Chain A
Amino acid sequence: MDSHLKKYGQLIISLSGVVAVWWLVSGLGLVNQNLFPTPPQVLAAAVELYRDGVLISDLQISLKRAAIGFTIGATLGVLVGLLTARVFAVSLLLEPFLTLLRPIPAIALVPIAIVWFGIGEGSKYFVIAYTVFLAVWLNTHAGASSVASTYIRAARSLGANRFREFFEVVVPAAAPHIVVGLRLGAALAFLSLVAAELSGASSGIGFRLQDARQFIQTDRMFVGLIQLGILGALLDSVFVLISRRLVHWESA
């Protein structure tokens, strides 16, 4: 309880500090207000977007894209990661290829995704899923290939077959790494979401940012940025909460 209070207190102090400095810098006329809007201006822009109905709908659409892309990428990442770590033939086939994919950033895939999947939802899912997949695969692979040999020996000498060894020992032993990968993947889903929406979208937070640029509406851009920040931070806290339950033995 006490630590909760402390945490929220810290959050409030830190945020009010940032807003105060922001207000001071933008309000004193030190910089051009068209380029660097004041907090009230940004608030007004947010209210306007809300009245137009796009604030909520953008949020919903972006969240949906991130969620679907994340689900696809995370599922594949966990499955492939477990296979490349524990099945020699699969690692032989896939690892070099995945190592080549790793340095390719999501944004570089946007043009080809649009050619393949059109400017509809498919290309967005693809770009997000790709980014999430790589992060989750890498962490799952690392976790599942470094399972302590005593666990494996213990499982076998206790008569576990390969199936039980995999599901009751390898998977839980790798779980802390997998959870780290999923958390990273969730953060990356947002990064690639914006990359995917910046071109070839007609809705979503990323689109709204790009749209605002054409009319130099910096106040609207700020709204989009703040939305992304809050959404990402909330999601991350939810992840931390869930993962603490999921791999409860890690902190004990």
Chain B
Amino acid sequence: MMQAALNLVVEPHSMPRTELGRIDVEGAAVSFKGPKGKRIEALAPTDLVIEPGSFVSLIGPSGCGKSTLLNAVGGFVPLSEGTIRLDGEPVTGINPDVGVVFQQYALFPWFTALGNVMFALKRFRLSKEERRDRAMAALKEVGLEGREANYPGQLSGGMRQRVALARTFVTSPKVLLMDEPFGALDAQTRVVMHEILLRVWEAHKATVIFVTHDVDEALILSDRAHIMSAGPGRIIETMEITDDRPRRAHQVTESFLRNRNHIIGLLRQPGADDH
């Protein structure tokens, strides 16, 4: 049933483009104005290269600056030092080529599921029918056929995040930023969401940066995991995850276990979780 609904529709405009979506983070740091005008460093100077079309995870203790780094890539917060480049161009502000799936559901509750997805298509010169057709196809892609007329308030948490995913992927962004998108979901729903996300990602081949607290989630999804230290965060280790997909938390391989133990060990280091 689920499988049938997940038949992927690859639109011509969303041809795999592995050469686009490279991110270069060069000495990027972010600080915020704290109380009494003091500057609080949320992200220590960070260097990072993210290959086009790859799926990377950011893991680290709470408050270490994962969201801040993600927001900096998205152009939501300005850097205090360094630069971030997207395909060579410095990020200076919000860019529709960078899709975002927020931690809190940022669906517009006043639009239906279809309306939310169509919102993303309005910046293109498409006829209303075409916009509708593409939005319907995107909803079908995430298994929400027949739910297009529902408002977000009438959908479950997992369904809402699927609409958010469809809304972001429908325009085939070069980069997709996801900040703990499944953090509020139960374990079972999360497994389904992982499958959907990987299918959609494989069809559209965007570069994905995925923030999570959950080590297993990072190991199941990503090509690479960047582990951050406690705030002000910086990347303390990068781990290649080479296991073949699909990976399953209940059928762990030896390398999966080794990686998991290693990451948990890093996060347990003194100073890594003193928040």
Contacts and interface: CB of A to CB of B under 8 A. Distances in A.
- Bind each other: yes
Given A164-B122, A249-B151, A252-B153, A153 B106 contact: yes
Interface string A122-135: 00000000000000
Contact of B110 (A150, A153, A155, A249): A249
A164 B76 CA distance: 19
Nearest to B119: A158
Contact-residue size bin, chain A (C-beta under 8 Å from the other chain): 20 to 34
A157 interface: yes
Interface string B94-122: 11101110101010111000000001101
Contacts of B167: 158
B106 A154 contact: yes
A151 interface: yes
Contact-residue size bin, chain B (C-beta under 8 Å from the other chain): 20 to 34
B226 to A, nearest CB: 22
B96 A157 contact: yes
Interface string B212-244: 000000000000000000000000000000000
22 contacts: A150-B104, A153-B74, A153-B102, A153-B106, A154-B102, A154-B108, A158-B119, A158-B120, A158-B167, A158-B171, A159-B171, A160-B123, A161-B123, A164-B122, A168-B108, A172-B110, A248-B151, A249-B110, A249-B153, A252-B151, A252-B153, A252-B154
Interface of A: 150-151, 153-161, 164, 168-169, 172-173, 175, 247-249, 252
Given A150-B106, A158-B96, A158-B119, 20 more contacts: A151-B106, A151-B108, A153-B74, A155-B119, A157-B95, A157-B100, A158-B120, A158-B168, A158-B171, A159-B120, A159-B122, A160-B123, A161-B123, A164-B122, A168-B108, A172-B110, A248-B151, A249-B109, A252-B153, A252-B154
